[in-house]
Amino acid sequence: MLFFALKGSDELGDRVAQAGRFARAPHEERAFDGGEHKSRPLVDVRGRDVFVLHSLNGDAHASANDKLVRLLFFVATCREHGAARVTAIAPYLAYSRKDRQTKPNDPVTTRYVAAMFEAAGADLVVTLDVHNLAAFQNAFRCQTLHLPTDRLFAEVIAARGSVRPVAIVSPDPGGVKRAQLAREALEQVTGGDVRFGLMEKRRSAGVVSGTHFAGDVDGCAVYILDDMICGGGTILRAAEAVRAHGAAEVHAVATHGLLTQDAVHGFGQGALVDDITLTDSVAIHAETAAILGHRLRVVSCAPMIAAAMRSLHDPRSVDRRQ
């Protein structure tokens, strides 16, 4: 097995390698005048089981487009030079939010990205807590593996303990299944009942609306759970609603921390959310961590990714849960 982590995902790659007790294979990434680049493995990949890690979020150093192309090119060169199998691991998979047509002439970028991975020669694509699981599974013709975070967050929430009743809240209808699975996992871990809530949400032309909330959260420690936090508006709207319905504590929980400056300001300055728990699927900037301070909690997804790689590499222990 060979494991590569591309530039920008190298810190997460180190944690994955440490958790799995295997080494990161060496590779080269070079930039050329005019914005072009090349990447190549520095070891022979012929006949090997190759895993390539790159989280596809845009940041100050590279756009989502650039990271996607770099991952595709690296997958392609491994395939061209005889790798037995190439697995692309994108903990955050870019363009997964646009998975259906909602307006005339809309793109379906989830399907286009899937086609690019297939064209590059990826045998398998692994991602973490994708935005729409059904759309992800239906878009790809190559093999896929989805790593859910419900159990991970259930254990984190249970470890914190609470003298109050606990409620899991979905901040929008699209996340109901995700929140339900987290609720079920938390009930299994704690052996107790967990309440549930749902926030209405409608989005058109970038404007979010909807004010209805359903659920009993009075006196509860509420955990608002989503796949990602970007601008922060969805979580903050839900936080305002559960506060109005009597929540005693409000905690935000999300897998991917795509935190814009507006989100950092909103969470750092406001009193609606007590704290935020994220995974390290996306690198958290030092400035963001400094602003959020004690409100920010980060749990590593590296052991989950490492375990998936081990089971994929050894067919006798493949975990096929989706």
**pLDDT tens track for 66-84:** 999 999 999 999 999 999 9
| pLDDT bucket at 303, cuts 50 / 70 / 90 | very high
Per-residue model confidence (pLDDT) at position 242: 96
Three-state DSSP at 2 gives strand
- The dihedral sign for the CA sequence 297, 195, 321, 228: negative
CA dist 33 and 216 (Å) reads 59
Element (H, E) at 195: strand 195-199
Which residue is it, tokens 């903050």?
A: 236
Mean pLDDT for the stretch of residues 84-93: 98
Catalytic annotation, residues: 201
Per-residue model confidence (pLDDT) at position 266: 86
**Mind spelling out the 3-state secondary structure of 207-269?**
EEECCCEEECCCCCEEEEEEEEECCCHHHHHHHHHHHHCCCCEEEEEEEEECCCHHHHHHHHH
Two structure tokens written together for 157: 């929430």
Closest C-alpha among 301, 322, 311, 306 to residue 91: 301
**All residues at 6 or more sequence positions from 132 whose CB lies less than 8 Å from its CB, including other chains:** 96, 99, 110, 174
**pLDDT tens track for 218-258:** 999 999 999 999 999 899 999 999 999 999 999 999 999 99
Closest C-alpha among 258, 301, 300, 250 to residue 276: 250
Mean pLDDT for the stretch of residues 9-15: 97
**pLDDT tens track for 270-294:** 789 999 999 999 999 889 999 999 9
Per-residue model confidence (pLDDT) at position 271: 81
| pLDDT bucket at 268, cuts 50 / 70 / 90 | confident
Helix, strand, coil percent values for the chain (each to nearest 5): 40, 25, 35
- How long a stretch of residues is the chain? 322
Is residue 320 predicted with pLDDT exceeding 60? no
Is residue 204 predicted with pLDDT exceeding 70? no
Percent of the chain with pLDDT strictly greater than 70: 94
- The dihedral sign for the CA sequence 233, 185, 256, 227: negative
Percent of the chain with pLDDT strictly greater than 90: 79
The residues pairing with 29 across neighbouring beta strands, listed in sequence order, are 39
Helices (H), 88-216: 109-120, 133-139, 150-160, 176-190
| pLDDT bucket at 212, cuts 50 / 70 / 90 | confident
CA 15 from chain centre, in angstroms, equals: 16
Mean pLDDT for the stretch of residues 140-155: 96
Contact predicate 252/292, CB 8 Å: no
Mean pLDDT of the chain: 92
Per-residue model confidence (pLDDT) at position 319: 47
Segment of 38-52, 127-141, 160-174, 188-202 carrying the highest mean pLDDT: 38-52
Core vs surface per residue 15-43: b (16+ CB within 10 A) or e: bbbebbebebbebeeeeeeeeeeebebee
Two structure tokens written together for 73: 């090119």
All structural domains of the chain? 2-148+303-317 (3.40.50.2020), 150-300 (3.40.50.2020)
Which residue is it, tokens 């052991």?
A: 303
